[in-house]
Amino acid sequence: MKISKSHPRAVSLQIREKLVKGLKNGITSQAGLLAHGRGEAFDYLIGEKTHLFAHKAIEAAAQLLVQAHHPILSINGNTAALVVDEFITLAHLLHCNIEVNLFHHSQKRVNSIEKVIKEKAPGVLIPSTNKKKRFRAIASARNLMLKEGIGKADVVLVPLEDGDRCEALLTKGKKVVTVDLNPLSRTAQKATITIVDNITRVMPLLIAAVRKQQKEKEEKNNMLFTSYDNKKTLADALLCISTRLNTLATVV
């Protein structure tokens, strides 16, 4: 669909189109479109902008990723359709790998996503043909992870997640950074750091924060994560929604 730049909701429609194209190219799952709709609803509620609570979470996440020994970026169908280039840039910056890990798993879809990454940046992908490790605590196909990827990672970026994997990764002693517009989702509630914002706005900011922190002194960066409180982030996101709705209700 051709979207006119002058359309009042052009950005939102362009994002939708990327997911529809992702579905056609075998990257996004059908359920991925539903997940996006849920995200859109929460984006409306926060006013489709990046708030201070998200900026703080991004800074803390950047510090965690920069200081990690084995960071890994976990990509799924929605993330691949929306921000694959940004994932590749971040992997280059952090000298780490991208691992495809799907909830609605099919090898065909894994191959389609891996193909896109390999064509753009062959070095950053840890391919699904590598040795796997099963995380028995996870009920879905997501329990199969790569031994040299998520298996040995200490910090995992897992955006647009569905819940049980986040909990399992935490029990394995890993730190989890997620991006989720829904502050009430299970992953948002459990993750070490939850960036409550749209992944399309988050990735450029996260890349910039990582670049900045790689240039700065370590002691200064340590403060960002040690003083970070994820419960406060979630509370601030919920307060932001409730305050906005109250304000809007008074002018209707």
Question: Nearest-CA neighbor of 64 among 176, 217, 205, 230?
Answer: 176
Question: Which residue reads 């201070």 in tokens?
Answer: 52
Q: Which stretch binds ligand PTJ (CB under 6 A): 98-106, 120-128, 206-214, 224-232?
A: 98-106
Distance CA(168)–CA(195), nearest Å, equals 19
Q: Which stretch binds ligand PTJ (CB under 6 A): 89-97, 127-135, 144-152, 178-186?
A: 178-186
Can you tell me whether residue 190 is helix, strand or coil? helix
Please enumerate in sequence order all residues whose Cβ is within 8 A of that of 43, keeping only pairs 6 or more positions apart, or say none: 12, 181, 198
Distance CA(32)–CA(105), nearest Å, equals 12
Among 53, 103, 225, 228, binds ligand PTJ (CB under 6 A): 103
Q: Which stretch binds ligand PTJ (CB under 6 A): 53-61, 101-109, 145-153, 230-238?
A: 101-109
| 230 token code pair | 């994820």
Residue 18 binds ligand PTJ (CB under 6 A):
no
Residue 102 binds ligand PTJ (CB under 6 A):
yes
Residue 38 binds ligand PTJ (CB under 6 A):
yes
Among 181, 191, 203, 234, binds ligand PTJ (CB under 6 A): 181
Question: Nearest-CA neighbor of 77 among 109, 115, 38?
Answer: 109
Residue 194 binds ligand PTJ (CB under 6 A):
no
Q: How far is the CB of 209 from ligand PTJ (least distance, A)?
A: 17
Distance CA(191)–CA(137), nearest Å, equals 16
Q: How far is the CB of 198 from ligand PTJ (least distance, A)?
A: 4
First to last CA, the chain: 33
Residue 208 binds ligand PTJ (CB under 6 A):
no
Per DSSP, the residues of 92-135 read HHHT-EEEE--SS--HHHHHHHHHHHHHH-GGGB--TTS-EEE-
x-marked contacts with ligand PTJ along 51-90 as a string, rule CB under 6 A: -------------------------xxx------------
Residue type, 118: K
Residues across the chain: 252
Residue 178 binds ligand PTJ (CB under 6 A):
no
Residue 180 binds ligand PTJ (CB under 6 A):
yes
Q: Residue with the closest Cβ to ligand PTJ?
A: 39
Q: Which stretch binds ligand PTJ (CB under 6 A): 2-10, 66-74, 99-107, 238-246?
A: 99-107
Q: Which residues bind ligand PTJ (CB under 6 A)?
A: 29, 31-32, 35-36, 38-39, 42, 76-78, 102-104, 160-162, 179-182, 185, 198-199
